[in-house]
């Protein structure tokens, strides 16, 4: 109706030819403005794709293709690299004045009174909230959830154990993602989501998370449209973030209605994350409110994706940590196939900054991609492009140096808060998979397909599962 009224309001003397001329003039003006801005930009000396100088549509197109992690590597090979350990420290280290860019606004509800840990661009607000919840994610707390993780591993092993007899091919990526989600449910609300049991995304959480990541990756390039586009997507019922938030709200609401323990002391050792959050809320509601719990729950949903490649089981986490080669395999796998596949963008602080000898004016947006950084030969050796777990079987000093230049979990104050959960899942599961099964690729000659929606996800990880007749001991 509004469009029709707008069309009717066009003066009758404005002919189609005049309209065409106006459109051409507007397009010409836009192109000239972009060209002048590019010519006068202090960054004009930095080499790169021609179209990328004039419009973000170039980046949006490559994000849409889903292979930007590969494109980014190619660009560095063609134009030279602006990715180095020194730049990494300047942009991401603790105390760095660089803040998250507007890209991350696309991951939050624009109508919410505050951002979550992932999307909060205010360093002070982020630090305050993180301090309040850091203990929930500490290694000592996470280890207490080990039994819940083992339960999920047993369920996954039982599911995979049914395939050798049938000879059916298995999408291993799908099963590992189901496992990761059920672990998140087990450690947060003391019950699995049931995706392993039902062999499907019965609650729609996997699909909701997928949609939210697609939205973030693309709308983050043009965050100016986020507020109105979010409203449109939400209205048609296809908003992934609102789906995850609704599930979190339901879980927390149920727990808050539950009566408190009336007698005796609460056993805090075996509590799930949600129980700990509710207890914190009841003790100090003014410091840890309902919205805080919602945002924290959303963070855990996101952490699940960071375990799409491997996952966890019955060897204890402590035992798994002592298996040097296992840990080397995990470290190398996360290096060559890092979950995040886009630059972790940051905004240059007031006054500008020098990065790798180049001056960037304030409000410029910089970012480094793990897929590029992890190929740095000065850090990882001349064979950095090869998968070689042995590179991690070195001194603690060398391991520390490589870890300081690894972007798998982010760096500094904005590193992934769910890292300990992810590593426990991975470390416990892999020994069990290796001990109990042999996996054969259905088509060994085909290349592994991936799709990059902020996280790089495998698409054709089809295998045949065979039970091992003799199981080695870890």
Q: Is residue 74 part of a domain?
A: yes
Per-residue pLDDT tens for 387-434? 888 999 999 999 999 999 999 999 988 988 889 889 999 999 988 888
Q: CA of 421: how far to CAs of 135, 137, 146, 187, in Å?
A: 13, 8, 9, 9
Within-domain flag for 229? yes
Weakest mean pLDDT among 123-137, 285-299, 343-357: 285-299
**Does a structural domain hold residue 21?**
no
Selected residue with higher pLDDT from 42 and 466: 466
- Domain hosting 320: range is 54-467
Q: Which of 408, 435, 403, 432 is nearest to 419 (CA)?
A: 408
Pairing of strands 462-467, 170-171: antiparallel
Give the pLDDT confidence of 82-120 residue by residue, as tens digits. 788 999 999 999 989 999 999 999 988 888 888 888 888
Structure tokens at 350: 């007031």
Q: Are strands 353-355 and 358-360 parallel, antiparallel or unpaired?
A: antiparallel
- Torsion, Cα 181 187 191 194, to 10 degrees, reads 10
pLDDT band for 47, please (50, 70, 90 cuts): confident
- Which residues fall in the annotated binding site for heme? 416
Q: Give 9-20 pLDDT, tens digit per residue.
A: 444 444 555 555
- Half-sphere exposure of residue 167: CA atoms within 13 angstroms, side-chain side: 0
> Would 110 be classed as within a structural domain?
yes
457 compared with 446, residue with greater pLDDT:
457
Mean pLDDT, rounded, of the chain:
78
Number of structural domains found in the chain: 1
Residue 387 lies in a domain: yes
CA distance linking residue 260 with residue 256, whole number of Å: 9
Given a cut of 50, whether residue 307 has pLDDT beyond it is: no
Give the Cβ contact number of residue 14 at 10 Å. Answer: 10
Residue with structure tokens 């959480």? Answer: 205
Binding-site annotation: residue ranges: 416
Q: Tell me the pLDDT tens digit for each residue of 224-276.
A: 999 988 888 777 665 555 555 566 666 666 656 666 554 344 455 545 555 55
Please, which residues have CB within 8 angstroms of residue 402's CB and are 6 or more apart in sequence?
331, 335, 379, 380, 391, 392
Could you tell me the strand order of the sheet in which 365-368 lies? 99-100, 344-347, 365-368
What number is the average pLDDT over the span 171-193?
A: 83
What would the two tokens of residue 251 be? 């879980």
Cα dihedral across residues 180, 181, 187, 192: positive or negative:
negative
What is the SS3 assignment for the chain? CHHHHHHHCCCCCCCHHHHHHHHHHHHHHHHHHHHHHHHHCCCCCCCCCCHHHCCCHHHHHHHHHCCHHHHHHHHHHHHCCCCCHHHHHHHHCCCCCCEECHHHHHHCCCCCCCCCCCCCCCHHHHHHHHHHHHHHHCHHHHHCCHHHHHHHHHHHHHHHCCHHHHCCCEEHHHHHHHHHHHHHHHHHHCCCCCHHHHCCCCCCHHHHHHHHHHHHHHHCCCHHHHHHHHHHHHHCCCCHHHHHHHHHHHHHHHHHHCCCCCCCCCCCCCCCHHHHHHHHHHHCCCCCCHHHHHHHHHHHHHHHHCCCCCCCCCCCHHHHHCCHHHHHHHHHHHHHCCCECCCEEEECCCCCEEECCEEECCCCEEEECHHHHCCCHHHHCCCCCCCCHHHHCCCHHHHHHHHHCCCCCCCHHHCCCCHHHHHHHHHHHHHHHHHHEEEEECCCCCCCCEEEECEEEECCCEEEEEECCCCCCC
- Give domain status of residue 36, yes or no: no
Domain with residue 147: its CATH number is 1.10.630.10
Residue 38 lies in a domain: no
């Amino acid at each position: 109706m509004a469009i029709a009224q707008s069309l009717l309001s066009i003066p009758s003397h404005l002919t189609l030819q005049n309209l065409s001329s106006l459109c051409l003039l507007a397009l010409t003006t836009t192109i000239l403005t972009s060209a002048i801005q590019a010519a006068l930009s202090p960054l004009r000396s930095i080499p790169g794709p021609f179209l990328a100088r004039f419009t973000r549509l170039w980046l949006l197109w490559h994000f849409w293709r889903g292979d930007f992690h590969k494109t980014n590597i190619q660009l560095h090979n063609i134009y030279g690299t602006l990715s180095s350990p020194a730049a990494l420290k300047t942009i991401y280290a603790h105390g760095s004045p660089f803040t998250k860019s507007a890209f991350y606004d696309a991951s939050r509800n624009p109508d919410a009174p505050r951002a979550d840990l992932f999307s909060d661009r205010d360093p002070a607000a982020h630090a305050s909230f993180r301090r309040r919840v850091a203990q929930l994610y500490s290694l000592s707390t996470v280890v207490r959830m080990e039994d819940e993780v083992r339960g999920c591993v047993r369920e996954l092993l039982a599911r995979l154990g049914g395939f050798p007899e049938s000879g059916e091919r298995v999408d291993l990526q799908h099963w590992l993602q189901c496992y990761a989600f059920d672990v998140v449910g087990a450690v947060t609300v003391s019950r699995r989501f049931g995706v392993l049991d039902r062999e499907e995304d019965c609650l729609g959480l996997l699909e909701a998370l997928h949609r939210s990541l697609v939205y973030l990756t693309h709308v983050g390039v043009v965050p100016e449209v986020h507020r109105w586009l979010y409203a449109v997507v939400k209205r048609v019922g296809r908003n992934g973030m609102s789906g995850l938030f609704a599930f979190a709200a339901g879980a927390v609401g149920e727990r808050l209605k539950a009566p408190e323990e009336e007698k005796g002391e609460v056993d805090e050792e075996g509590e799930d994350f949600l129980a700990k959050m509710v207890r914190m809320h009841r003790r100090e509601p003014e410091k840890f409110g309902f919205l805080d719990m919602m945002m924290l729950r959303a963070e855990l949903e996101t952490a699940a994706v960071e375990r799409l490649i491997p996952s966890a089981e019955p060897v204890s986490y402590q035992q798994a940590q002592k298996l040097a080669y296992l840990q080397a395999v995990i470290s190398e796998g996360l290096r060559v196939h890092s979950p995040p596949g886009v630059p972790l963008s940051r905004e240059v602080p007031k006054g500008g900054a020098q990065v790798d000898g180049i001056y960037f004016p304030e409000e410029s947006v910089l970012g480094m991609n793990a897929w590029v950084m992890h190929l740095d030969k000065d850090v990882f050796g001349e064979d950095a492009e090869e998968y070689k777990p042995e590179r991690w079987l070195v001194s603690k000093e060398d391991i520390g140096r490589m870890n300081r230049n690894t972007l798998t979990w982010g760096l500094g104050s904005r590193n992934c808060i769910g890292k300990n959960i992810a590593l426990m899942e991975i470390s416990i599961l892999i020994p069990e998979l290796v001990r109990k099964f042999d996996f054969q690729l259905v088509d060994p000659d085909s290349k592994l397909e991936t799709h990059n929606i902020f996280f790089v996800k495998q698409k054709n990880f089809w295998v045949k599962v065979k039970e091992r007749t003799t199981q080695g001991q870890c």
